Amino acid sequence: MGSPASLRTLPVALTIAGSDSGGGAGIQADLKTFLAMGVHGTSAIVSLTAQNTTGVSAVHDVPTDFIQEQIKQVVTDMKVVAAKTGMLSNADIVGAVAESIKDLQIPNLVVDPVFISKNQDRLLSEKALTDLIEKLLPLAEIVTPNLYEAGALLDTETSTLPHMREAAKRILELGPRAVLIKGGHLEGNAVDVFYDGTDLVEIDGPMIDSPHTHGTGCTLSAGIAAELAKGSPLLESVRTAKDFVSGAIRNGLSIGRGYGPTNHGWRFIENPDRSKT
């Protein structure tokens, strides 16, 4: 008989988000990011989407009691040391998720406030947005809005670096322990602004010319959660996650007829396009 397999453990992270049937964003992107960054990924699915690289054709929301049961079963069995939220499509879901996170005392929460699309379409009702601000942001270790979302959270224009600096300070007053405003829609380099009440840090990065960027926001927030799960300091977690996302965009996948996904396996897949080998 062979020797018994050695037993291993990994930090556990939880994603609470929607499912992307095309595999580029949402739960699927989060779990691939967790794996690539060395943590065990768990999930609570809040919505099912029928989508591909060209768009979303249908959304089916999961009942809130079942969302809460998913979270409960994961957290009461495994030691979840970090979590992230993604798309929460209505006020009832926002409230149910916030209640579970608070009651179960889930630490190191990364809130990706997915409520404005890259086409600047509003994805949440006013009631759901209000509940996200009042119920979820105060539970967050960090919140990661893009430029449009930062502006909507404050009902003000956020389109320049000075705007971002001011917005980061004002969003911190809504309750999270830190804020990261993503500058992917800025002119020039992709500068993100981090603020934790003490340090205001600009994190520069190259603007990578690629259409295959589906799921970048999900990947970034999942990367931050993964690093927090491993015990990294918050700002270091942000920098590491941004580096990972840059590599995933640089090696993006031309899959489907529309905007392809970032490549979560860029560190260990030598030839992603195996159809050409």
Q: Which residues are catalytic?
A: 182, 213, 215-218
Name the residue among 100, 36, 30, 31 with its Cα closest to residue 64: 100
Helix axes 234-250, 216-229, angle to 10 degrees: 140
Instruction: Please state whether beta strands 40-52 and 12-20 pair in parallel, antiparallel, or not at all (unpaired).
Output: parallel
- As separate numbers, helices (DSSP H) first and strands (DSSP E) second, the chain gives 8, 9
Taking the C-alpha atoms of residue 119 and residue 84, their distance in angstroms, rounded to an integer, is 24
Amino acid (1-letter code) at residue 192: D
Distance CA 46, CA 186 (A): 31
Answer yes or no: are the C-beta atoms of 229 and 180 closer than 8 Å.
no
- Joined together, the tokens standing for residue 93 give 């879901």
Q: What angle do CA 66, 72, 73 make, to 5 degrees?
A: 90
